[in-house]
Amino acid sequence: MLDATIVKFDSGTTTVNAAEIEALEARLRGTILEPDNAAYDEARSVWNAMIDRRPGLIVRCAGVSDVIQTVRFAREHGLLVSVRGGGHNIAGNAVCDGGVLIDLSQMRSVRVDPSIQRAWVEPGALLADVDKETQSFAMALPTGINSTTGIAGLTLGGGFGWLTRKYGLTLDNLMAADVVTADGELLRTSLTEASDLFWAIRGGGGNFGVVTGFEFQLHQVGRQVLSGLVVHPFAEAASVLKEYRKALESAPDELTCWVVMRQAPPLPFLPAEWHGKEILVLAMCYCGDLDEGERATAQLRSIGTPIADVVGENTLVGWQQAFDPLLAPGARNYWKSHDFIELSDGLIDVLIDAIRRLPGPECEVFVGHVGGASGRIAPDATAFPQRSSHYVMNVHARWREIRMDRPCIDWARGLFEDTKPYAAGTAYINFMPEDETERVEAAYGSNFQRLVEVKRKYDPTNFFRMNQNIRPTAEFRAA
């Protein structure tokens, strides 16, 4: 170990001598990585290749005690900290420049008790870890659509995907959590234990502590779902979208259908002449009886004249990983997002125009179909407030070369501004890039002031600030 110059919690830097770092490592089951360690670059790398930050130290935690020791060490020395779970967050807040990265990625245990339909999950687990373990008992937790996403960040910010309309958001299925607070204490939170903190972590992100364990309610879903893609020529986008919104008016909770608009990747079931051309995709999943699913999806599948229809029986685990190849790590990514109550004709026109101006072959717009069970929960029941939105749009700019940064980001920002008149005003925290700090208050709406109060109670100095930050000194401004 060498002496380390570390960015301080408030401002400036401080030198932490090698003996103190060695003493911390002696108290850990995990390891400390310094910049000259062979594993350092891998440990600081995250999903979004735009994030290239260099922590002063990386503490790879092996368990709860390691987290406690690291928080206390950083607190004692006044050091800036960030917390990494799966490292998938678009803003890259998992990694801080010059501070201490608390790395939870090695803590990936998932334990299921099928007799009470519960799962206990460590914060480094990925959605693939959760899916494989729960599905071995024909159970499932509603999560996201990319299996390499981390369960921790997904849950703390919301968590929606193919099962949300039937079983709610990921955070709606959180029964309890263990949290290491800013003073290095471990608290168990639930509806009856530190209930104010439990309310806040269900949507408030990583503002209040390090969650070291999640207890989830599971559901009997079965191992098979009816799922797949119906691909349409983009020339039919307007009519398809209008028929799509009509079909969803009577959709049961078991049925979820998302829209993806982009240039066609070289998928094996698409004719070669369509590769690289603009398309509209209806991606659907029915999580109930397969015969009923055939009837429930019939109206959606009868829309227009598709290029391909590959909806069929799939394993839930397989369907959860279907989009992974298009969302693999290593690309540069920038997102902009809005919630919508409806897909109006005006909004449809704006979206279609934007797809005609795609800046690159990996850029896309998806519109997630939500509502259902997730929309039947009171907005103040959890910190996550946007229960009335029926659709979530993510403008996903994705590219490989630095020279494409400006055109791709400008395209995403332009579409965001053009769709703002149709938006509900709330925002999905997990889709907000690092330059959207001014949206935090609006994202939480009437829940914001309560979040400030919880932050003030559990983290009055804003020790946990590498997030979509809720400052303990913030003042509520009514809309």
DSSP 387-437: -S-SEEEEEEEEES-GGGHHHHHHHHHHHHHHHGGGS-S---GGG--TT-G
pTM: 0.96
| Helix axes of 405-419 and 345-355: crossing angle, nearest 10 degrees | 170
Q: How far is CA 405 from CA 49, 72, 92, 360, 452, in A?
A: 12, 39, 16, 11, 35
8 Å CB contact between 206 and 156:
yes
Strand, coil or helix: 200: helix
* pLDDT score for 2: 85
Residue located via tokens 């051309």: 277
Average pLDDT of the residues in 342-362: 97
Q: How far is CA 386 from CA 53, 198, 444, 447, 453, in A?
A: 32, 18, 8, 10, 20
Cβ partners under 8 Å of residue 192, min gap 6: none
Cβ partners under 8 Å of residue 244, min gap 6: 257, 259, 282, 300, 303, 343
8 Å CB contact between 9 and 80:
yes
Cβ partners under 8 Å of residue 223, min gap 6: 135, 138, 315, 316, 317
Helix locations, 53-141, DSSP H: 64-77, 127-135
pLDDT of 477 above 50: no
Q: In which region does residue 433 sit, left (phi positive, over 0), alpha (psi from -120 to 50) or beta (all else)?
A: beta
pLDDT of 326 above 90: yes
* pLDDT score for 173: 98
* pLDDT score for 38: 96
The CATH number of the structural domain formed by 4-103 is: 3.30.43.10
**Each residue of 183-219: pLDDT tens digit?**
999 999 999 999 999 999 999 999 999 999 999 999 9
pLDDT tier at 153, thresholds 50, 70, 90: very high
**Each residue of 73-93: pLDDT tens digit?**
999 999 999 999 999 999 999
**Each residue of 47-74: pLDDT tens digit?**
999 999 999 999 999 999 999 999 999 9
**Each residue of 126-149: pLDDT tens digit?**
999 999 999 999 999 999 999 999
User: What are the structure tokens assigned to 465, written together?
Assistant: 């600030």
pLDDT of 479 above 90: no
Picking from 346, 351, 345, 350, the residue whose alpha carbon sits closest to that of residue 364 is: 351
Q: Mark 286-325 as b/e (b = at least 16 C-beta within 10 Å).
A: bbbeeeebeebbebbbebbebbbbebeebebbebbbbbee
Share of the chain above pLDDT 90, in %: 96
The residues that bridge with 121 in the sheet, in sequence order, are 110, 214
- The residues spanned by each domain of the chain are 4-103, 110-220, 224-431
What does the mean pLDDT of the chain come to? 96
Average pLDDT of the residues in 447-452: 97
Long-range pairs, 340-343, Cβ under 8 A, ≥24: 340/367, 340/389, 340/390, 340/391, 340/392, 340/393, 340/422, 340/423, 340/424, 341/388, 341/389, 341/390, 341/391, 341/424, 342/245, 342/390, 342/391, 343/241, 343/244, 343/245, 343/367, 343/391
8 Å CB contact between 55 and 103:
no
Share of the chain above pLDDT 70, in %: 99
pLDDT of 478 above 80: no
**Fold classified for 224-431:** Vanillyl-alcohol Oxidase; Chain A, domain 3 (3.40.462)
* pLDDT score for 476: 40
pLDDT of 473 above 50: yes
* pLDDT score for 423: 95
- DSSP assignment, residue 375? G
User: What are the structure tokens assigned to 383, written together?
Assistant: 């910190």
CATH 3.30.465.10 assigned to 110-220? yes
Strand, coil or helix: 24: helix
* pLDDT score for 389: 81
User: What are the structure tokens assigned to 410, written together?
Assistant: 């400008």
pLDDT of 237 above 60: yes
- How do beta strands 31-33 and 219-220 pair? unpaired
pLDDT tier at 474, thresholds 50, 70, 90: low
Residue type for position 30:
G
Same fold, 4-103 and 110-220: no
Picking from 149, 6, 147, 20, the residue whose alpha carbon sits closest to that of residue 73 is: 20
